[in-house]
Amino acid sequence: MKIRAVRGMNDILPEEARSWHRVEASFRGVAELFGFGEVRTPIIEDTALFSKQIGETSDVVEKEMYSFRRHDNELTVRPEGTAGAARAYVEHAMWGKESVSRWYYIGAMFRGERPAKGRYRQFHQAGCELYGDAGPVADAEMIELCVRVLASLSITDIKVHLNSLGSGSAHDGEANVGTRARYKAALLDYLQPRSLELSEDSQRRLEKNPLRILDSKDPRDQAIAAGAPSILDVLSSEDSEHFDGVQRSLTALGIPFVVDPRLVRGLDYYTRTLFEIKAEGADLGSQSTVCGGGRYDNMVESLGGPKTPAIGFAMGLERLLIAHRAATTATNDTSFKPVVYIASLKPEAGDPAAGLDVALSLARELRDRGVRCDIDSRDAKLKAMLRRADASKARLCVIVGDEEIATNQLTVKDLANKAQEKLPRAEAAQWIAARLATPPGSSAEEAK
Ligand code: ATP
Ligand code: MG
Q: Is the distance from the beta carbon of residue 26 to the nearest atom of ligand 1 less than 6 Å?
A: no
What pLDDT tens digit does each residue of the chain (448 aa) get?
A: 899 999 999 999 998 999 999 999 999 999 999 999 999 999 999 999 999 999 888 889 989 999 999 999 999 999 999 999 999 999 999 999 999 999 999 999 999 999 999 999 999 999 999 999 999 999 999 999 999 999 999 999 999 999 998 886 544 444 445 777 788 888 899 999 998 899 988 888 888 788 888 888 888 998 898 889 988 988 888 899 999 999 999 999 999 999 998 898 777 788 899 999 999 888 888 899 999 999 999 999 999 999 999 999 999 999 999 999 988 875 555 566 789 999 999 888 888 888 899 999 999 999 989 899 999 998 888 999 999 999 999 999 999 999 999 999 999 999 999 999 999 999 999 999 999 988 776 654 444 4
- Is 9 contained in some domain? no
Spatial separation of the C-alpha atoms in residues 166 and 245, rounded to whole Å: 13
Cα angle value 114/119/120 (rounded, 5°): 75
**Final residue in a domain of this structure, among 304, 327, 350:** 327
What's the 258 CA to ligand 1 centre distance in angstroms? 20
Please tell me whether residues 272 and 307 are part of one structural domain. Answer: yes
Q: Domain check: are 262 and 286 in the same one?
A: yes
3-state helix, strand, coil in the chain (%, to 5): 45, 20, 35
Predicted confidence at residue 412, as pLDDT, reads 96
- For residues 242 and 311, give the distance between their C-alpha atoms in angstroms, rounded to a whole number: 13
Q: How far is CA 69 from CA 34, 77, 124, 324, 415, in A?
A: 39, 11, 24, 39, 60
Q: How many CB atoms lie within 10 A of CB 227?
A: 9
User: Ligand 2 centre from 126 Cα, in Å?
Assistant: 16
CB of 264 within 6 A of ligand 1: the answer is: no
Q: Is 366 in the pocket of ligand 1 (CB under 6 A)?
A: no
Q: What is the pLDDT of residues 138-153, one digit of tens each?
A: 999 999 999 999 999 9
User: Kind and range of the H or E element at 277?
Assistant: strand 271-279
CA–centroid distance, 192 to ligand 2, in Å, is 25
Q: According to the model, what pLDDT value does residue 181 have? A: 78
User: What is the pLDDT of the chain when averaged over all its residues?
Assistant: 90
Neighbours of 397 (CB within 10 A): 23
Model confidence pLDDT, tens digit, residues 368-413: 898 999 999 988 889 999 999 999 999 999 999 999 999 999 999 9
- Maximum alpha-carbon separation in the chain: 94
For residue 119 and ligand 1, the question of a CB distance below 6 A is answered with yes
Mark whether 27 and 112 lie in a shared domain.
yes
Answer whether residue 332 is part of any domain: no
263-319 residue pLDDT tens = 987 777 888 999 999 998 888 888 999 999 999 999 999 999 999 999 999 999 999
The CA 326 to ligand 2 mean position distance, Å, reads 22
Q: Which ligand is nearest to the CA of 111?
A: 1
pLDDT of residue 335: 60
**Could you tell me the residue range of the domain that residue 413 belongs to?**
340-447
Q: Which residues contact 77 (CB under 8 A, 6 or more apart)?
A: 43, 44, 65, 66, 67, 110
Q: In whole angstroms, what is the distance from residue 80 CA to residue 349 CA?
A: 63
110 and 242 housed in the same domain: yes
CATH number at residue 435: 3.40.50.800
* Confidence (pLDDT) at 333: 55
CA dihedral of 433, 435, 438, 440, whole degrees rounded to 10? -110
CATH code, 275: 3.30.930.10
Instruction: With CA atoms as reference, report the closest residue to 275 among 256, 259, 298, 287.
Output: 259
Domain count of the fold of the chain: 2
pLDDT of amino acid 176: 47
